[in-house]
Copies of this chain bind each other. A is one copy, B any other.
Amino acid sequence: MSFNSFGHLFRFTTWGESHGPAIGCVVDGVPPRIPLSEADIQPWLDRRRPGQSRFTTQRREPDQVRILSGLFDGQTTGTPISLLIENEDQRSKDYSEIKDRFRPGHADYTYWAKYGIRDYRGGGRSSARETASRVAAGAVARKVLDHVLGKSAVIRGALVQMGPHAIDRTRWDWAAVEENPFWCPDAAMVATWETHLDGVRKGGSSTGAVIEVVASGLPAGLGAPIYGKLDADLAAAMMGINAVKGVEIGAGFAAASLSGEENADEMRMQDGRVTFLSNNAGGILGGISTGQDIVVRFAVKPTSSIPTPRHSVTKDGENVEVATKGRHDPCVGIRAVPVGEAMLAIVLADHLLRHRGQCG
Q: Which one of B30, B81, B261 lies within 8 Å of A205 (CB-CB)? A: B261
Contact between chains at B245 and A253 (CB < 8 Å): yes
Q: Which of B227, B236, B266 contacts A104 (CB 8 A)?
A: B266
Interface centre among A4, A130, A251, A272 (most CB of B within 10 A): A4
Chain-B contact segment, one of A57-65, A69-77, A180-188: A69-77
Interface centre among A32, A115, A268 (most CB of B within 10 A): A115
Closest B residue to A259 using CB positions = B205
The answer to whether B236 and A245 touch across the interface, beta carbons within 8 angstroms, is no
A28 at the interface (CB under 8 A from B): yes
- Is A355's beta carbon under 8 Å from chain B? yes
- Proximity bits, A110-139, B CB within 8 Å = 1, else 0: 110111111100001110001000000000
A175 to chain B, nearest CB (A): 25
* Inter-chain contacts of A110 with B (CB < 8 A): 220-221, 223, 284-290
Asked whether, in the complex, the Cβ of A300 is within 8 Å of the Cβ of B247, the reply is no
Size range of the chain A interface in the assembly = 35 or more
CA of A78 to CA of B333 in the docked complex: distance in angstroms? 28
Which B residues touch A240, using CB under 8 A? 226-227, 229, 231-232, 235, 287
Q: Determine if A236 and B226 form an interchain contact, defined as CB atoms under 8 angstroms apart.
A: no
Is B260 in contact with A252, judged by CB distance below 8 angstroms? Answer: no
CB-defined contacts of A239 to chain B, threshold 8 Å: 229, 231-232, 234-236, 247, 249
Is the CB of A24 closer than 8 A to any CB of chain B?
yes
Cβ-defined contact, B258 with A302, below 8 A? yes
B residues less than 8 Å from A11 (CB atoms): 1-2
Residue in chain B with minimal CB distance to A210: B256
Can you list 30 residue pairs at the A/B interface with Cβ under 8 Å?
Answer: A1-B354, A3-B80, A5-B28, A9-B9, A9-B354, A13-B13, A13-B80, A15-B80, A17-B69, A32-B358, A33-B115, A33-B116, A75-B117, A78-B114, A79-B225, A105-B285, A109-B290, A110-B223, A110-B284, A110-B285, A208-B258, A208-B263, A236-B239, A239-B247, A246-B253, A248-B253, A255-B300, A256-B299, A261-B310, A266-B312
With A31-B360, A261-B308, A267-B312 given, is the CB distance from A227 to B6 under 8 Å?
yes
A344 in the interface, Cβ–Cβ < 8 Å? no
Closest 9 pairs (CB-CB, A-B): A107-B286, A357-B357, A105-B264, A206-B260, A246-B248, A110-B288, A232-B240, A235-B239, A208-B256
- Of A37-45, A46-54, A150-158, A313-321, the stretch lying at the interface with chain B is A313-321
User: Could you tell me if B255 and A31 are in contact, using CB atoms closer than 8 angstroms?
Assistant: no
Q: Which residues of chain B are near A119, meaning CB under 8 Å?
A: 72, 77, 79
Q: Which residue of B lies closest to A312 (CB)?
A: B267
Bound state CA distance, A81 and B13, in angstroms? 11
Known contacts A248-B246, A249-B246, A256-B163; A77/B267 CB under 8 A: no
Besides A32-B114, A353-B358, 5 new A-B residue pairs in contact (Cβ under 8 A), listed by A number: A4-B28, A33-B115, A105-B281, A261-B308, A267-B312
A191 within 8 A of B: no
